[in-house]
Structure 1
Amino acid sequence: MTTDALVTTDAARTYAMDRAHVFHSWVAQDLITPLVITAAQGSYVWDGDGRRLLDLSSQLVNTNIGHQHPKVVAAIQEQAGRLCTVAPQHANDQRSEAARLIAELAPDGMEKVFFTNGGAEAIENAVRMARLHTGRVKVLAQYRSYHGGTSTAINLTGDPRRWANDYGSAGVVHFFGPFLYRSAFHATTEQEECERALEHLEHLIRFEGPDTIAAIVLESIPGTAGIMVPPPGYLRGVREICDRYGIIYIADEVMAGFGRTGAWFAFEHFDVVPDLITFAKGVNSGYVPLGGVVISEEIAATFGTRAYPGGLTYSGHPLACSAAVATIGAMHDEGIVENAARLGETVLGPGLRALAEKHPSIGEVRGLGVFWALDLVSDRETKEPVAPYGGTSPVMRELVAACLAGGVLPFTNYHRLHVVPPCTATPEELAEGLAVLDAALDVVDAAVSAG
């Protein structure tokens, strides 16, 4: 692919029309300067000036198989030529096959899949199923979490994006999950953190009333909130608590699923089986919007002769499902999940830890597979973040500028730099990216030292 083919003469017009007519999410409209993206291939995107950028963001951590995978593009094109859309009340070959393939990846006893258009709708419907199945209303979720932007999902979300949308009417109760680096429990070891976090959760359940709680919603590994890998035993402990009190365990795998952590589902690392699994993003790398819920046999049986009161016009859209079928096939055939695991073990893990040894602004390195975060601090002793919780800072803006200048499209959130390339990335591409991050972190170190 040549640079000339990627530069569009109307990039300036694209930008002008965006600023005139597009209302962007999660930002103040007058304060943004969106990057014009004209093309993408593999691990790279090109901007309106023809500049190639290594996509260490995977966009919104969803292009797990990279950009423009030929098998998936071909599947979408073939399906579009045959049948562009069909209502969800009908059976369709691509929808049926996508559901079969997803159920095949799920634990035994989870054979049914309800399709949505994305992750937030998956959460909405999983919570609805749990409430109807149990006859209870309350749902528990972690403070450090993100579950989506729709009404129930945003109330479940723990991070500051909830605050302006929180009307206290969704029956949601938040709790502290395990995070040893910034422990809410004054723990000094992973075991202490696990034990105290589970004790905190069980106390909360007892004080809220176990018979009032329908579900606990947990990102298996929280994504946007900081990629905090739970300590050994924590998710098993949550499973045991749920079983003890008849609470449904919903695993939010929207970001962490489909290869991102080096496993098909992130909960596989922790030897647990949830009751409901929400997914989106990596199921087809976002080529066409798709999400869904994988449902346990017991919960599915609740709606065997009782109508499920939910649905979407585009549930199981054939273009999206054809992309999912092709994506899962490519991931199997090309060993993409295994590649993600290998990259984490041999390239990203060692490479990011080496950066931490060099750069005093890195407080902690966390992650698995191609799912990593650097916790950036102004002081390693106090762990003071370089940007406030829920905000940004000049230091973080300088970091982003340095990454872009070096040819890397980064993912940052508050005081963190997330390193989340496609699962299809090569060691050479990641070495290129780590070199750019190394130089960009020099900028952070200098800014921190200057005070």
Structure 2
Amino acid sequence: MSKIELTVEEIKQYDREFNLHSWSKQKGLNPIAVSKSEGIYFWDYEGKKYFDMSSQLVNMNIGHGNKKVIEAIKEQAEKLAFIAPSFAVESRSKLARKIINIAPDNMQKVFFTNGGADANENAIKIARMFTGRNKIFSRYRSYHGSSFGAGNLTGEPRRYPLEPGIPGFVKFFDPYIYRAGINFKSEEEASKYYVNMLREQILYEGPFNVAAIVLETVTGSNGVIIPPKGYLKGIREICNEFGIMMICDEVMTGWGRTGKWFAVENWDVKPDIITFAKGVTCGYVPIGGVIVSKEIAEFFDDRVLLCGLTYSGHPLACAAGCATIDVYEEEGLIENAQKMGGILGELLEGLKAKHTSVGDVRYIGLFSSIELVKDKESRETLVPYGKDPEGIMGKIIGLLKERGFSTYSHENIIIVAPPLIINKEELIEAMDIMDEVLDIVDKTML
């Protein structure tokens, strides 16, 4: 039977007629029809090449078309495409062992999920079972997924359709120093302020009620907000004081994105639970997971773990994960993220100094953001929070894509997070496009 091929027009037509696109009004959408991808690039059907400067959704860490991972998937599919989670299978056993070997040394076991949202769902279930408590703290400027439990963890407006939500979910504020309105003398002073505020809030909620504090190690799409010195250690101390589980969401920041296997390593902090997804397979096959400490793992030796998913530890995904970790190690991608991150930081600082529209830049490894403002002195945002009636940010992203720079924005922030395989020449060439577009923003949009 011959292979059915669609024309570009048919691809776009069927997309409009039969697909619902996430986070979008459906009318008027005109997504790029992608024909192929390789390395840090993808191409449309007209042959136009795009720099993938957000690694799609900050997940294509090893880039597109990696042959080692593709071959691992093929080999596993021919040997054993699926078996239920209750069986032991080679690829699942190998991946779990690889993950524990590179995770912080207090970690012991992995529960596999389908992605990041259900990793966070199961992490809060585990924390509640382990502690016998019900309240879960998470931050306002956060995104942990859009399923019901993960959506209640989420603090930003994408949680609104889930409200009224699940009882026991409590929000606190991120250490967003750029917009704090307080002139802190140092990062340590800022950390002390935010940690003390959180501790007081926990006292009012009743520490004996609080099962977990959940936080993105580095706040992701809501601004790439990097924790100030001492902040994560302060959170760890609060958790130790009150017997609260510290859960770090490393769905975006894990797997080398910040120049370490897991972002917590940048601050020498050991959480009780780490959630992951994205970069473990870089989207070649979906998978996520929950890494738990030795203490939690031992707790469930004699108690039933009330967590389960049909595709937990899917053999194809685990085979892809094993091969992906090998790619990180063999190609030195963690080290490259550190090296290229230094270059990216210099380029971003140059943009901040040059452009009147750039209020702040934040970066760690190859995870960064550009915050756009109307006025640098007042720090007034380019678009009001939660509102962009003129579609200004969409226009800016469109200008970038027209020139072959693909990324996304959130509020008044542009994400820059290229694949970890990027080299210096590619990085400079891509950021020259950003420079050109910011010139237009300076001249026409302020």
Question: Which TM-score band applies after superposition, normalised by the shorter structure?
Answer: over 0.9
1:313 aligned to 310, 315, 318, which one? 310
2:111 aligned partner: 114
- Look up the SS of the partner of 1:155 in the other structure: helix
- Look up the SS of the partner of 1:111 in the other structure: strand
Calculate percent identity across the aligned residue pairs.
Answer: 46
CA distance in 2 between partners of 1:365 and 1:327 (Å): 30
1:39-438 correspondence runs (5 A): 39-183=36-180, 187=184, 189-345=186-342, 347-392=343-388, 393-438=390-435
Change (3 A) 1:401 1:288: same
The one-letter amino acid paired with 2:420 is C
- Look up the SS of the partner of 2:27 in the other structure: helix
- Look up the SS of the partner of 2:363 in the other structure: strand
User: Any conservation in 2 of the 1:336–1:424 contact (CA below 8 Å)?
Assistant: yes
CA distance in 1 between partners of 2:45 and 2:169 (Å): 43
User: Any conservation in 2 of the 1:141–1:217 contact (CA below 8 Å)?
Assistant: yes
1:185: Cα distance to partner?
5.3
The one-letter amino acid paired with 2:443 is A
- Look up the SS of the partner of 1:366 in the other structure: strand
Q: How many residues are matched?
A: 441
Cα deviation 1:105-125 (Å, max 9, x = unaligned): 111231200000000000000
Cα deviation 1:332-391 (Å, max 9, x = unaligned): 11100110111011x200011111111110000101111000110011111111122234
Cα deviation 1:11-36 (Å, max 9, x = unaligned): 11111101111112222222422221
CA distance in 2 between partners of 1:189 and 1:143 (Å): 23
User: Any conservation in 2 of the 1:179–1:193 contact (CA below 8 Å)?
Assistant: no
- Look up the SS of the partner of 1:30 in the other structure: coil
- Look up the SS of the partner of 1:424 in the other structure: coil
CA distance in 1 between partners of 2:181 and 2:208 (Å): 27
Q: Report runs of 4+ in structure 1 exceeding 6 Å deviation.
A: none
CA distance in 2 between partners of 1:401 and 1:140 (Å): 37
2:31 aligned partner: 34
User: Any conservation in 2 of the 1:373–1:418 contact (CA below 8 Å)?
Assistant: yes
1:15 aligns with 2:28: no
The worse-fitting range, judged by mean Cα deviation, of 231-240 and 179-188 is: 179-188
User: Any conservation in 2 of the 1:395–1:444 contact (CA below 8 Å)?
Assistant: no
1:184: Cα distance to partner?
6.1
CA distance in 2 between partners of 1:31 and 1:146 (Å): 26
CA distance in 2 between partners of 1:120 and 1:48 (Å): 32
CA distance in 2 between partners of 1:48 and 1:302 (Å): 54
The worse-fitting range, judged by mean Cα deviation, of 179-188 and 50-59 is: 179-188
The one-letter amino acid paired with 1:287 is Y
- Look up the SS of the partner of 1:249 in the other structure: strand
CA distance in 2 between partners of 1:378 and 1:448 (Å): 8
Change (3 A) 1:184 1:248: farther
User: Any conservation in 1 of the 2:188–2:231 contact (CA below 8 Å)?
Assistant: no
User: Any conservation in 2 of the 1:276–1:294 contact (CA below 8 Å)?
Assistant: yes
CA distance in 1 between partners of 2:94 and 2:330 (Å): 17
- Look up the SS of the partner of 2:303 in the other structure: coil
CA distance in 2 between partners of 1:195 and 1:441 (Å): 36
Cα deviation 1:419-444 (Å, max 9, x = unaligned): 11001111111111111000111111
The one-letter amino acid paired with 1:373 is S
1:447: Cα distance to partner?
2.4
CA distance in 2 between partners of 1:448 and 1:14 (Å): 34
CA distance in 2 between partners of 1:329 and 1:184 (Å): 45
CA distance in 1 between partners of 2:176 and 2:191 (Å): 9
User: Any conservation in 2 of the 1:159–1:390 contact (CA below 8 Å)?
Assistant: no
1:3 aligned partner: none
1:222: Cα distance to partner?
0.7
1:323: Cα distance to partner?
0.6
Task: Give me the TM-score of the superposition, normalised by structure 1.
Answer: 0.95
1:77: Cα distance to partner?
1.1
The one-letter amino acid paired with 1:240 is E
CA distance in 1 between partners of 2:35 and 2:216 (Å): 33
Give unpaired runs (5+ residues) of structure 2. none
1:395: Cα distance to partner?
2.8
Cα deviation 1:392-418 (Å, max 9, x = unaligned): 343322211211121111221110111
Cα deviation 1:265-322 (Å, max 9, x = unaligned): 0010011000000000001101100000011111112211211111100000011011
- Look up the SS of the partner of 1:29 in the other structure: coil
Cα deviation 1:215-259 (Å, max 9, x = unaligned): 000110011111011001000000000000010000100000000
- Look up the SS of the partner of 2:324 in the other structure: helix
User: Any conservation in 1 of the 2:92–2:319 contact (CA below 8 Å)?
Assistant: yes
The worse-fitting range, judged by mean Cα deviation, of 192-201 and 95-104 is: 192-201
Give unpaired runs (5+ residues) of structure 1. 1-7
